[in-house]
Structure 1
Amino acid sequence: MTAVAPPAPTLPRSVADAGPLAMAVAGLSFQNPVVLASGTAGYGHELREVVDLERLGGIVTKAVSVEPRKGNPAPRVAEFPGGMINAVGLANPGLEVVRRDHLPRLAALVSRARVLVNVVGFAVDEFARVVEGLDDAPAVEGFELNVSCPNVKAGGAEFGSDQLALRTVVESCRRATRKPLVVKLSPVLPQVAETARIAVDSGADALTLTNTIPGLVVDVDGRRPALGFGSGGVSGAGLVPVGVLATWRVRQAVRVPIVGLGGVRSAHDALQYLLAGASLVGIGTAAMQDPRLPERVVRDLDRWRDRHGVARLADVVGTLQWPT
């Protein structure tokens, strides 16, 4: 049977009038589909000298937890020929400092770029506590729930791999805010489409696909892991096919918007995600290596759109033709 993706969401007039690259996601208008992925862009203001956030669709901040976290021992990041591996350990200054110091500084930098806050927790109730604590904070227009975190009160299993825990996390966050909730899923979930359905049924307005893939890089001279923690999350160009497939699979299962993430280094990569069903495309590792790259991707997407006679880039979302 031929797989037919659900139609792309109709753009409200305010979005359609915003320009040919505009996207509508969870009630928000993004001026273009390129967003900075969580973790690699800090809280935005750290990049003010090298990135013009106002040229992008938006930014997903570094993770925020209830309490400050020191993270994992160094080294936390290592490069290898196929990409990068990291085990930062979700280090962050905690809810109160982010609200008091970081978000006001970010708010002073953006008016067109949308801001989503990445939320982490290590017990079911902690996600909603962060959401509630930042619901009226400056610049915040929505939340990305990183359910790849370990549930330390349930043996360390990821929230996203436990259907009951996932449902409880999303439902509690839904009660804590009326702002958009985006649930970030792991690519190694055995039934990612079913997990996506549970997240949406529980109140998610959109989904991010995907997170990093677990891996291990070895320092062969030292005969030990390259990272201080041991294993870590693999990112980089090799994740594009993994993320695109996950995006396509979830696109068949649910009708909410998708943020495609993993390995994007060019407009060509971004278009693969868009055609597979994503409305936004996150750039992470590549932006760390070249902070100007996201702006070039925006420019090249517009050139592709013009060259192919596409009036609105949103019209190509989910139009991948699967072989019969």
Structure 2
Amino acid sequence: MERLAVNLAGVTLKNPVMPASGTAAYGQSMAQQLDLGALGGLVIKSTTAEPRVGNPRPTTAPTTAGWLNAIGLKNPGIDNVLAEKLPWLAEHYPELPIVGSVAGSIFDEYVAVAKKMTTAPNVKLLEINISCPNVDHGGLAFGTDPVVVKDLTQAIVAVVDKPVFMKLTPNVTDIVPIAAAAEAGGAAGLTMINTLTGMGIDLKTRQPILAHGTGGLSGKALHPMAVRMIHEVRQQTKLPIVGVGGVFTPEDVLEFYLAGANAVQVGAATYGHPTACTDIIAGLPAAMDKYGMTSLSDLIAEVQG
């Protein structure tokens, strides 16, 4: 539907809704629940150079207005993704734009995985997950240091031929300098926000409810913070922004647009409700009619100038 179409750094999406990284893995399971071809795009699970088994269980737990998770970047590694996962998507959904999510624990791993990921024809955009602990710098996330963000963005952009979106962590005092660093490094766009670090404690065992201790908070609790951060960053940049955090309804999508987003990702809403993405897509035209919004491209022009 033309009124839902959006352009992300030269890549046209027929609608703005994608599952957030990790929530659809590599698409095979979600394809049993809904038509992946109805999505605006598919963000694959964050992928590293070598396979990772992830953290010990329990890795997820419900909490106030959301979920805590500490999956630990469980994935089969970039070579398997290139050999099996992405070809399966290309065969069954040849028109579906894929966003390749890249992760790592050292600087060079990010660059190497990004370079390999961009060779897949159906990967149209790269999303760089910079919420990972930086082994070379004492475990602080890559995305908390503007200098590291700029240098990493620059290094990845230099070796790939597809648009690079940096996925920003909200676990910083001020997200605007991080966004500015990504832009200075040559990012084509931003994805924001990743999960907030949280913890739950079991009153009976007196131990953390996640085996890892802390985890990322996702869900409805995240939405107002994501709206605020997108709005702050939009005041300082013209880069396209993919909004993620607590999107459960078409109205949540439109709120992100009014804050300055160009597309959205849906994560926690799919837990227990696997058709959340397509339900939101189906409900968008009526929500837009209700609020006098002709098309998403017009709304972007109105908000962003």
**Does the pair score TM above 0.5?**
yes
Residue in structure 2 matched with residue 25 of structure 1 by the alignment:
8
Match of 1:224 in 2: 207
Distance 1:183 1:90 in 2: 17
Q: What's the CA shift for 1:188?
A: 2.2
SS at match of 1:38: coil
> Quick check: 1:36 aligned with 2:22?
no
Are residues 1:169 and 2:152 paired? yes
The answer on whether the counterparts of 2:146 and 2:177 sit within 8 Å (CA) in structure 1 is no
RMSD: 1.5
Q: Secondary structure of 1:259's match?
A: strand
Structure 1 unaligned regions, length at least 5: 1-17
Deviation for aligned residue 1:307: 3.7
Q: Offset at 1:320?
A: 5.9
Alpha-carbon distance between aligned partners in 1 of 2:290 and 2:174, rounded to the nearest angstrom:
38
Q: Deviations over 1:275-310 (max 9, x none)?
A: 100011110011122111111111111112234443
Aligned to 2:52: 69
User: Could you state the TM-score of these two structures normalised by the residue count of structure 2?
Assistant: 0.96
SS in 2 for 1:75: coil
Q: Deviations over 1:143-198 (max 9, x none)?
A: 10011111101111111112222122111110111101010001122221111111
The farther-off stretch of 101-110 and 239-248 is: 101-110
184-193 vs 306-315, which moves further:
306-315
Residue pair 2:150, 2:183 contacting (<8 A) in 1 also? no
Counting matched residue pairs gives: 304
Taking only the aligned residue pairs, the percentage that are identical comes to 38
Choose the corresponding residue for 1:80, options 46, 50, 63. 63
3-state DSSP of counterpart to 1:172 = helix
Alpha-carbon distance between aligned partners in 2 of 1:56 and 1:109, rounded to the nearest angstrom: 14
Matches within 5 A, 1:213-292: 213-292=196-275
- Kept in 2, the 8 Å contact 1:180–1:204? The answer is yes
Stretches of 4+ aligned residues off by more than 4 angstroms: 318-321
Q: Is the 8 A contact 2:66 2:221 kept in 1?
A: yes
Matches within 5 A, 1:110-149: 110-149=93-132
Q: What is the aligned counterpart of 1:96 among 67, 70, 79?
A: 79
1:111: Cα distance to partner?
3.3
AA aligned to 1:64 is T
**Matching of residue 150 in structure 1 with residue 133 in structure 2:** yes
Query: How far does the alpha carbon of each residue in 1:236-277 deviate from its partner, in whole angstroms, 9 at most, with x for none?
Result: 111110000010001001101000000111011111101100
TM-score normalized by structure 1?
0.90
